[in-house]
Chain A
Amino acid sequence: MTLDNFLYYIILPVLALSTLLVFIRFIIGPTISDRIVALDLLITTGIGVIAVYSILSGQPTFLDIGLIFGLIGFLGTVAYSSYLEKRKKK
């Protein structure tokens, strides 16, 4: 079993399964905070998928997209939490 086959048939399906599990929490999350945490974890898992894909395709340029993904995830979490704090009581 070569390295490419291992990454294709074991690592990527495990990452896809975990993305699916997090997405279930993203759908059913009872509060907005749960959804924001699930979104953060989705983006973090996406960085892992990008790293595996850069190994498979042999192009390290994809890791830059991972860096930008992390930046977008952090900014999204900060923005959502600040608006959640400012929200008026219903």
Chain B
Amino acid sequence: MMDIIIVVLASFGAFFILLGAVGILRMPDTYLRMAVTTKAATLGVGLILIAAAFYFDDVATTTRVLAIIIFILLTAPVGAHLMGRASYIAGNKLWEKSVSDDLEGKYKASRNFSIAPEKPGKSEDIIENEDYDKN
């Protein structure tokens, strides 16, 4: 019975990781590739780790597996957000069939952008926008 659970969990995990790999190879855009990385691959690795927890059937191993899963679930969106902002500032183009670009006009075309400006909101690279400040 335990073998069946392990086989099913490991199969779904490997399948989702394979989907993520095919997606990162076939997607037309950096941002869409990033979406694949943060969703499908995280789910696949989590399922495989849960399969390992079922196999060992031990409190210490289960705690370790939960720590890894929570760590991946916390860090994958943060890393993808940083990477998406960096690649937008670096000037990567969106796919030509993308329907909306909420950051359009918020940044100048310059790449000279520092993470921590001296005065928050007054960075020279952020274009002043009244509607943006009111909200």
Q: Chain A interface (Cβ within 8 Å of chain B)?
A: 3, 6-7, 10-11, 14-15, 17-19, 21-22, 24-25, 31-34, 36-38, 40-41, 44-45, 47-48, 51-52, 54-55, 60, 63-64, 66-67, 70-71, 73-74, 77-78, 80-82, 84-90
Contacts and interface: CB of A to CB of B under 8 A. Distances in A.
A33 B30 CA distance: 7
Contacts of A51: 45, 48-49, 51-52
Contacts of B85: 81, 85
Interface string B86-98: 1101101000000
B48 A89 contact: no
Interface string B1-15: 001001100110111
Interface string B29-41: 0100110110001
A77 B111 contact: no
A41 B41 contact: yes
Contacts of B7: 3, 6
B112 interface: yes
A45 B92 CA distance: 26
B64 A33 contact: no
B99 interface: no
Given A47-B45, A86-B113, A81 B82 contact: yes
B86 A14 contact: no
Contacts of A47: 45, 49, 68, 72
28 contacts: A3-B3, A11-B10, A11-B11, A11-B14, A22-B21, A22-B24, A33-B30, A37-B83, A40-B83, A41-B41, A45-B17, A45-B21, A45-B41, A45-B45, A48-B48, A51-B52, A55-B51, A60-B61, A67-B67, A70-B71, A77-B83, A81-B85, A84-B86, A85-B86, A85-B114, A85-B115, A88-B111, A90-B111
